[in-house]
Structure 1
Amino acid sequence: MIRLFLISLILIFAWVPLKCLAEEDSTASEQAEKRVTFYTTYGYQSNERWKIPVRLWVSEDLDFFRKLTLKTARKIIQHKAKLEDLTEQQKRLFKSRARDFLRDSESGEVIKIQFDNDPDKQVFVIESITNEPETDFNGTITGLLELPYKKANQLSKAQNSQNGWLSFHAVSSDHFGVGRVRLVEPEGVSVISDIDDTVKVTQIPLGNPVVLHNTFFKPFKAAKGMANKYRSFDETTAFHYVSGAPWQLYGPIEDFLFSDKEGFPHGSFHMKNVRTNLFESETYQDIGKLIAGGATQRQKLEQISQIIAHFPQRKFILIGDSGEHDPEIFAEIKQLYPKQVKEIRIRDVVNDQRCNSKRLQGMVVIPTEEKSNSCSQMLK
């Protein structure tokens, strides 16, 4: 279900750069300050250094033509969500949720950062894993930042760091943006959590119209009781949120989960890479993978495996839901890392405990708010 939903989003939003190329005022674009989105990450120890996986995105706000396209996209997605009339609140929600699908990605940007309160005011240049110092055609850099232990300790003291968290900000010309990283100790307990239908109600098994409605036109709703369960872990527990949702939804989801109202523990984010630049061949590869299926399973397997591999001495608790493939993915992860995966917990949103109990064998089942007599009905 979510695969068709993502394909629809790509096809709706990806053509926007083509339309804007002929219309855009390049002079105004060059003078605008560019936002750098630093996705919350973690650091691990290796060779007497902290290594920090970094993902960032450089973009500019919507110009006139992109704002027009946003309205067109809203009408299309409104129709696919089977909604007749929208309230003003729903229109505002759509704008905030869809905005990052349409922002103008900036290629060729060199990003420099500085950690907050650094007495040395040291500047770091973010490079890709292939040592390229500039953003790609989609405005992104995926790379690795290294910090010597001594520098990390200095920054922790300067920031009065709690549980390894450090903050930083962009200092390169015409860029603004802030980011956070948690330096995670080699030993301890970590939670790797899904998002949709695990901590946030999306109702994926009910189909695309419901998913679109919940994603773009309704206030996000937390899965009942999950925030309390997560807050019950020791404060030294590290959290990693792994989702099949595209990176373009990172902002709204992060704001929701870590708001004062919901209060989920802060943690790193790991989401689906869905490129929308039609001039880059990888965009078509992304679409092809989604059409062929299995993209989310592979993505989660790779991302979770990478996290666990970075911490060979830590124990992991995997938390997901029964709505799609979390039980199968987590079972495979446990086979790969039997000594590290301490427990698998599944929020049973499709009544598998009663209707398909073998699927959840050996897993801790988290009951949902309601019980259904149907074996196919999604539970809220």
Structure 2
Amino acid sequence: MLNPAKSLAWVVPLAVTMTWVIGREPEPDALPPSSLKSDEEILFYPSYGRFDEQDQVWRFEVHGKVFEPEDGSFKRRLLIAALKRSVRGKVEIDKDAFREDRIRPFLVDNERGKSVTIDVIGTQFAAGVSGPNGHFHRSLTSDAAALGLGGEPIGGQRNRVLTVKAVLPARDSRSFDGRIHLIAPRGVSVISDIDDTIKHSQVTSKSELLKNTFTRAFRAVEGMPELYADLADTGVAFHYVSGSPWQLYQPLAAFFSEQGFPSGTFHLKHFRLTDSSGLGLLSSQRETKLAAIVPLLTSFPDRRFILLGDSGEHDPEIYGQLARDYPDQIAGIFIRNVTSADPTDGRFQTALTGVPSDRWILFQDVAQIKQRVADLAR
């Protein structure tokens, strides 16, 4: 049995995590602006909030990063060398073949010890202090009125997006915004892998994965943007969980927007160029995915979840474990077959032991699952 408490410990970033009660006697005048220099920037990652029906408050996360843009040649050479070593083989890729929007986020200087202040519907709140990797993370609690939801039913019946803005020093005219997805207590959510599930990556070939990640234009899996857009129209919430590093968030978000994928929360992997995990940059981490998904399931016990992944790495095993541990919440599991496997293979029988056969499908074409997924979403 998966231990949710232990799983949560796996995902705690190198940042300060605290709880701050908002909407109750806030003191906006007492809060200083974010301690940001003119050559530093803030990037917010889309996260989620839930309504606590027992305490009648909204609980949500603020997560972001403080960094100084950098494009040094030494870091560039170091990263390219690490990428080539990570494929454990000789890969002939010229340094100029790397796309700038993919490689640049790895070259920034992470800024630690930076306090971040945000504005939510006209009120300012402390949002955390950045850790060694530049990330800051804080849990916030608010009543509905402070979020502009006072006129709606308690807890809400639909999903909505809350916009947060960084409060900057008086002379700083820049703007850094973020999104918090406030998700209703009941409904349907999709938890989706990214690589080889909705974006062609070829994870089973490390050299091709490197090229598809850093040197080629991203390509959507045929039919997936349309399927996800149709689901979003029915009110489904989306959570994108991947072994890709947080540095790829911006190019991934741009790709999602261009292809018409619905907006949602992102749950990626922490990585620093100076970490000993450098050679594992392109590898998926089972623990990372579980640590992201388990809190979603425990935060929304009355929602039903559709899990989409692929057969390239550990998605069948991860999803099978979750279906056994949370049988009332997992409505369906859909695995894109990228390994030409047979559903009767021992791997799937083992990975999905105890999961009813009508709750999981190994598919190759989106048309095979479109109606089934749509039915579950309704």
Considering the TM-score relative to the shorter chain, is it more than 0.5? yes
Matched residue SS, 2:115: coil
Residues 202 and 149 (structure 1), Cα distance of their counterparts in 2 relative to 1, 3 Å cut? same
Q: Tell me how far 1:163 sits from its aligned partner.
A: 3.8
CA RMSD of aligned residues (A): 2.9
Give the structure with the larger helix fraction.
1
- Deviation at residue 273 of structure 1 after TM alignment: 1.6
What are the equivalent positions in structure 2 for 1:121-140 lying under 5 Å apart? 121-127=122-128, 134-140=129-135
The residue aligned with 2:229 is 231
Equivalent residue number for residue 165 of structure 1 = 161
Cα offset for 1:246? 0.9
Structure 1 residues 135-157: Cα deviation after superposition (integer angstroms, max 9, x where no partner)? 11211112212221112234999
The Cα offsets for residues 230-251 of structure 1, whole Å up to 9 and x where unpaired, read as 1221431100000011111111
Distance between the aligned counterparts of 2:92 and 2:361, measured in 1? 37
Give the TM-score, by structure 1 length.
0.74
Counterpart amino acid of residue 184 in structure 1? I
Secondary structure of 2:254's aligned partner: helix
**Preserved contact between residue 155 and residue 166 of structure 1 (Cα < 8 Å):** no
Q: What amino acid is aligned across from residue 210 of structure 1 in structure 2? A: E
Query: 1:176: how far off?
Result: 4.4
Q: Is the 8 A contact 2:308 2:335 kept in 1?
A: yes
Q: How far, CA to CA, are the matches of 2:300 and 2:106 in structure 1? A: 33
- 2:144 alignment counterpart: 149
CA 287–336 in structure 1, closer or farther in 2 if over 3 Å, else same: farther
Cross-structure match for 1:60: 68
Q: Which amino acid aligns with 1:58?
A: V
- The 8 Å contact of residues 201 and 221 in structure 1, kept in 2 or not, is answered as yes
Partner of 1:318, secondary structure, is strand
Question: Is 1:367 matched up with 2:364?
Answer: yes
Question: Is 1:103 aligned to residue 108 of structure 2?
Answer: yes
**Paired position in structure 1 for 2:214:** 216
Q: Structure 1 303/210 Cα, relative in aligned 2: closer, same or farther at 3 Å? A: same
Instruction: State the partner residue of 1:324.
Output: 313
2: distance between equivalents of 1:248 and 1:325? 22
Calculate the TM-score normalised by the size of structure 2: 0.74
1:298 aligned residue: 287
Partner of 1:252: 251
| 1:351 paired to 2:340 | yes
What is the letter of the counterpart of residue 300 of structure 1? K
Question: Equivalents in 2 of 1:269, 1:176: separation in Å?
Answer: 21
Distance between the aligned counterparts of 2:150 and 2:91, measured in 1? 51
Letter in 2 for 1:231: A
- Per-residue deviation at 1:358? 5.8
Question: 1:339 is matched with which residue: 320, 328, 331?
Answer: 328
CA 1:73–1:272 in 2, change beyond 3 Å: closer, same or farther? closer
Query: What is the rounded CA distance, in whole Å, between the counterparts of 1:244 and 1:75 in structure 2?
Result: 20
Deviation at 1:113?
1.0
Counterpart in the other structure of 2:260? 263
The answer on whether the counterparts of 2:200 and 2:219 sit within 8 Å (CA) in structure 1 is: yes
* SS of residue paired to 1:365: strand
Residues 84 and 38 (structure 1 numbering): CA distance in 2 closer, same or farther, change over 3 Å? closer
**In structure 2, what residue type is equivalent to 1:122?**
T
Counterpart position of 2:376: none
Shift of 1:331: 0.4
Distance 2:203 2:301 in 1: 33
Q: Can you give the 5+ residue segments of structure 1 that lack an aligned partner in the other structure? A: 1-29, 128-133, 370-380
Tell me, in whole angstroms, the C-alpha distance in 1 between the residues paired with 2:151 and 2:201. 37
Q: How far is 1:49 from its partner?
A: 1.3
Shift of 1:171: 1.1
Is 1:183 the counterpart of 2:185 in the alignment?
no
Q: Deviations over 1:157-215 (max 9, x none)?
A: 9xxxx941121211133574211111000000000000000011110112x21111111
Instruction: Write the letter of the residue equivalent to 1:141.
Output: F
In 2, are the aligned partners of 1:33 and 1:176 still within 8 Å (CA)? Answer: no
Q: Aligned AA for 2:108?
A: R
TM-fit CA distance, 1:368:
4.3
Alpha-carbon separation, structure 2, partners of 1:163 and 1:31: 35
